[in-house]
């Protein structure tokens, strides 16, 4: 794969989705996944509570019932093998299984030491990075903490490049839907890294940074984005509010050798 695909020479790089993560991770010293609504926000909320989060890639788009059933069985088996509880779908939480991808659910649910959290986007990006690559879960709640963590460890140079991946969402046919909230979240982190001396930025990273810096009201943009409106219509407006708690957390979720996100 040529240098054009991996943005070689840049200290901070930007791409979309699991495919972008897989390509750019080949040269990354650290990969940051940004899935504001809601995987990385959910991870941030859980890690704030001391929960170890094990991401599990969930099928999206046009997955058949057989594929979803197979994924559910695999997720359950993974949770058993890992000594973890398994999060349910947002609409399928019960008193016995009160954890889900909803940050509001995770904030209210009883503490559990280990939690398998299925997701078709953010978790898929974590899975796309090789085990030797540092993987960070960033969202609007922990942007400054993540930026400080990265620069204090000398990430964000051409020798130790940071790859920032906006997760995006899925269209019904399974193709990637670039999501405004993830572009802005990634741009906010890139802006913070650049202000701390990281770089140079790839053209793609600079464009994401400009998108964030040109947005006057970040919380309003996220709430009125397609993803924000969809969650609100589903009855999860509190999830959108939690996702826009800018810099509410000082903890940085880092994937450890066990594959779990823990406080770095």
Q: What is the CATH number of the domain that holds 44?
A: 3.90.1560.10
Residue of 203, 133, 29 whose CA lies nearest to 211: 203
Please report the pLDDT score of residue 54 as a whole number: 96
Longest dimension (CA), the chain: 51
Please report the pLDDT score of residue 251 as a whole number: 98
Please report the pLDDT score of residue 145 as a whole number: 98
- Please indicate, yes or no, if residue 134 is contained in any of the structural domains: yes
- Please indicate, yes or no, if residue 245 is contained in any of the structural domains: yes
Please report the pLDDT score of residue 55 as a whole number: 96
Distance between CA atoms of 33 and 124, rounded to whole angstroms?
10
Please report the pLDDT score of residue 3 as a whole number: 73
Please report the pLDDT score of residue 128 as a whole number: 76
Contact 86, 116 (CB under 8 A): yes
Distance between CA atoms of 83 and 130, rounded to whole angstroms?
23
Number of domains in the chain: 1
Please report the pLDDT score of residue 1 as a whole number: 47
Please report the pLDDT score of residue 218 as a whole number: 97
**What are the start-end ranges of the H helices in 196-255?**
203-213, 218-223, 226-233, 237-243
- Please indicate, yes or no, if residue 86 is contained in any of the structural domains: no
- Please indicate, yes or no, if residue 77 is contained in any of the structural domains: no
- Please indicate, yes or no, if residue 88 is contained in any of the structural domains: no
Spans of the chain, pLDDT less than 50: 1
Instruction: Give residue 174's domain range.
Output: 3-53+102-108+119-263
Sequence-distant (6+) residues with CB within 8 A of 158 are 9, 10, 11, 200
- Please indicate, yes or no, if residue 83 is contained in any of the structural domains: no
- Please indicate, yes or no, if residue 61 is contained in any of the structural domains: no
């Amino acid at each position: 794969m040529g240098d054009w695909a991996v943005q070689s020479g840049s200290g901070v790089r930007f791409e979309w989705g699991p495919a972008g993560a897989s390509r750019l991770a080949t040269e990354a010293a650290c990969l940051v996944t940004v899935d504001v609504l809601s995987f990385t926000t959910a991870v941030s909320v859980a890690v704030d509570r001391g929960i170890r989060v094990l991401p599990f890639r969930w099928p999206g788009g046009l997955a058949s019932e057989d594929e979803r059933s197979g994924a559910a069985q695999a997720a359950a088996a993974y949770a058993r093998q890992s000594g973890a509880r398994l999060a349910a779908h947002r609409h399928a939480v019960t008193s016995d299984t009160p954890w889900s991808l909803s940050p509001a659910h995770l904030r209210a649910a009883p503490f559990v030491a280990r939690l398998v959290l299925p997701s078709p986007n953010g978790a898929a990006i974590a899975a796309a990075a090789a085990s030797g690559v540092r993987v960070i879960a960033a969202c609007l709640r922990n942007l400054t903490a993540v930026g400080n963590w990265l620069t204090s460890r000398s990430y964000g140079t051409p020798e130790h490049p940071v790859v920032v991946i906006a997760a995006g969402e899925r269209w019904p046919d399974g193709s990637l839907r670039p999501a405004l909230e993830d572009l802005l979240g990634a741009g906010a982190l890139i802006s913070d890294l650049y202000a701390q001396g990281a770089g140079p930025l790839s053209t793609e990273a600079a464009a994401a940074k400009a998108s964030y810096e040109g947005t006057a009201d970040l919380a309003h943009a996220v709430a009125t984005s397609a993803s924000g409106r969809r969650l609100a219509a589903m009855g999860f407006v509190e999830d959108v509010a939690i996702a826009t708690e800018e810099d509410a957390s000082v903890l940085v979720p880092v994937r450890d050798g066990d594959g779990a996100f823990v406080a770095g």
